[in-house]
Amino acid sequence: MYLQSLVAIFCLLMGSYPQETDEATTTDPLPEEDPNNFQDQDATQVVKLTGKYWVTTRTHKVSTPFGDPKCEYAQIVGPADGVGEETYTLELGASVGPISKRKNLTLVLKTSGSHRQPNVMEFQRNSVDGPQEHKLLYSNYGDCAIVRIKKKDDTGLYCDLLQLGSTAGSDPPSLCKEKFEDYCKGEKYEPYSADCETK
């Protein structure tokens, strides 16, 4: 199945092949559309953050013909040239075996449901999937964020937990960890390891 991973985030870079896993189960409304959570879902705050955010845990398996991607990261490198204030340049990176790759993509902020602030980060990870929406489930607007990953032609709800480089090797902040466990069901995968910063 040719689908894909954020920030899943990178495996998408290489046209990765996610494999089927247990789908996340949620209650109505979905946490990304629950007004009680909106204060934690302002994507305009997230795109102002600097540094690499590493995918430390996710609820979907990603693989390529060359192996499973590791050391996946995302970082905003600035506004996209010549376009509006809601458009940014997103750098995604990952390693497969001894090879590390990175790619710049255009990220567009959008608003879904009854949100008043943009909560969606849309970008095209690969040509097969086309532009995909990545809804912000939670951010402490510092060192931890949770992003909803949806895949083309797949009704499953998946998640990536991202941590700032300086904290990626430790447990996420307690509230971020609690939200991830609550919002993101299913088997967990950990593409991050201590040597990612040196690759």
Quick check: 16 pLDDT over 80?
no
φ and ψ at 118, to 5 degrees? -55, 135
Question: Considering its fold, how many domains does the chain have in total?
Answer: 1
Asked if the structure places residue 4 within a domain, the reply is no
Mean pLDDT of 159-187: 96
The amino acid occupying position 66 is F
Asked if the structure places residue 12 within a domain, the reply is no
Q: Cβ–Cβ contacts within 10 Å for residue 134, how many?
A: 24
Task: State the Cα–Cα distance between residues 105 and 90, nearest whole angstrom.
Answer: 5
C-beta of residue 184 within 8 angstroms of C-beta of residue 161: yes
pLDDT of residue 27: 54
Could you list the residue range(s) of the whole structural domain that residue 100 is in?
A: 17-191
Quick check: 119 pLDDT over 60?
yes
Secondary structure class of 46 (helix, strand, coil):
helix
Asked if the structure places residue 197 within a domain, the reply is no
- CATH (domain of 136): 2.40.128.20
| Residue spans of alpha helices (H) in 47-131 | none
The mean of the pLDDT values for the chain is 85
pLDDT of residue 1: 37
